[in-house]
Amino acid sequence: MTCALLFRLFLLMALAVPSQGKCLGPTSRLRYSRFLDPSNVIFLRWDFDLETEIITFELQVRTTGWVGLGVTSRYTRAGSDLVVGGVLPDGNIYFSDQHLVDEDTLEEDGSQDAELQGLTEDAVYTTMRFSRPFRSCDPHDQDITSDTIRVLATYGQDDTLKLDQDRTFVKSIFLLQVVHPDDLDVPEDTIIHDLEITDFLIPEDDTTYACTFLPLPIVSRKHHIFKFEPKLLEHNETMVHHILVYACGNASVLPTGISDCYGADPAFSLCSQVIVGWAVGGTSYQFPDDVGVSLGTPLDPQWIRLEIHYSNFHNLPGVYDSSGIRLYYTARLRKYDMGVLQLGFFTFPIHFIPPGAESFLSYGLCKTEKFEEMNGAPVPDIQVYGYLLHTHLAGRALQAVQYRNGAQLRTICKDDSYDFNLQETRDLPYRAEIKPGDELLVECHYQTLDRDSLTFGGPSTINEMCLIFLFYYPRNNISSCMGYPDIIHVAQELGEEVSDSMEGMMAMNNVEWTPENIKKAEKACKEAQQMVIIKTIDELVENTTGWIPEIIPATRGPCLESSGGKVEPQDQTPAGFRAAPVALSGSSTATLRCLPLAALLFGQGVLSWLLATLRVGV
């Protein structure tokens, strides 16, 4: 056999071997699914490959007309991207990558960045399956990120491409969910235990925080809680804002009954170390297979505080509720005992947000240098694997940033498109390690254009919060680490003469909240010294101080080049874009299939030459 023939044989073998990663072809099972409309007419399946940064969608709609799927923003449909397709009466198909010029006018993109994998129609459904890059170089395409994505779905009753608002829906989804529940182990010896408030009469007040103390399961040997889910009565779902389960120190003296968590009796606010938590839009959550909440050892809590936040804005009378949290636990032990660390802005009484703000940033600093002293034992490196973000209605974005030795290390978690109605526990794609001495900064972004008075930190949904809960292992005794700015400094920077913090907060009502003063207040809050409050499960509290470090924005990843596309200025650098995978079929449009081994071995430019060589012979 000649060298030329051997080379051709090797190349053909290389072309046949896909790269590492999950190649999602036209028949691959898509793990995630959801209805996108209240009537369950539009059903979406999807999956993705983090390595190749390709996401695949399958949209099934109860129609024999056209269908469309894309990404939109919180504020306007103009600029949304939309992939549309359908089957004509003669059996021919049409498929196009488009965008919305205004609220209802479609225009085809110059760059076609979606690859069709299948388009069928029967007597009931039209089904369209396609893939697209997380980030193309087409400015008309919205990026698929680890933020909340507002998925836009629409359809027509025939093949006329015209948007009808009655058949157009937007649903917030966290598309890049790295762990699917089906991938996790469910022990055969699973035991269920419910923590709930029984037949509680919800007050007619706008906001109620109801607390009670309940025992955890009594077990003769160590067990692990590995999953939790909310227990909600169907007709009360819209009134339950959040449910938190706090571990109590075993030396705590606890009250009985149900009362206001933060009212006249301070005993009902005891216990501050979160075990699990649920908020609006969340569902069940199962911990990774190597971690669980420990039960049954002398170091484990025996009692918890169950906190339920009710929002009864219609002041409905006579509504009874029995909501709570269902725990799943097992005697099959996991490798690590997990804990939850609460970070953010200390909610009350210093937090304020001016009215009429297009954008206002709040910061809460955590300094971990005292963790070991307060823990009463050495604190191993904290391995963060999940998180829950929480603000109220004015919140637009959150992030937690880590610093070590004065330098920014990483953004642990973030959501630049936060949706109050989708608050769920999310897994990180990696384990983020926090070492003693690291600093953690939470930044919350608010918008109050619809408000004409100050918004203060507080328990009501119309008040605000700025919290991030980090799920981590191995467990320690630290329950929270939160910060707030020196409000006296802030007031003085705004021209107010004050002598203490209470006067400082009251002085905020005297400020004329012009755009200039809003920016001045934000700057003063950021530059003021932060008071950091650290708390343990046994209610030990320590204070320290610090300064807000700068946040260096993360650079965007490379976009995927495609034919006919416009490359953005920031992408016109050698590292600013990556070439699309070569189309093996001879198609002029970009093919988003996984790269074959040959592309990895030779690079795509060489691969194109090799393919041409194969066509003409060696």
What angle, rounded to 10 degrees, do the helices at 604-616 and 3-16 form? 120
The answer to whether the CB of 365 falls within 8 A of the CB of 469 is: no
Instruction: Give the span between the Cα atoms of 589 and 568, in whole angstroms.
Output: 19
Please provide residue 483's backbone torsions phi and psi, each rounded to the nearest 5 degrees.
-130, 165
Given the DSSP bridges, would you call strands 54-61 and 168-173 parallel, antiparallel or unpaired?
A: unpaired
Instruction: Give the span between the Cα atoms of 115 and 97, in whole angstroms.
Output: 9
The answer to whether the CB of 442 falls within 8 A of the CB of 468 is: yes
Q: Which is nearest to 406 in space by CA: 435, 365, 438?
A: 438
The answer to whether the CB of 439 falls within 8 A of the CB of 368 is: yes
Instruction: Give the span between the Cα atoms of 510 and 506, in whole angstroms.
Output: 8
Instruction: Give the span between the Cα atoms of 474 and 458, in whole angstroms.
Output: 31
Residue 209 appears among annotated catalytic residues: yes
Q: Which one is catalytic: 223, 241, 390, 445? A: 390
The secondary structure of the chain in percent helix, strand, coil, rounded to multiples of 5, reads 15, 40, 45
Bridge partner list, 83: 69, 97
The string of DSSP codes covering 219-245 is -SS-EEEEEEEEE--GGGGGGEEEEEE
Q: Which one is catalytic: 155, 209, 403, 472? A: 209
Cis peptide before 301 (omega within 30 of 0): no
Residue 390 appears among annotated catalytic residues: yes
The set of catalytic residues is 209, 390
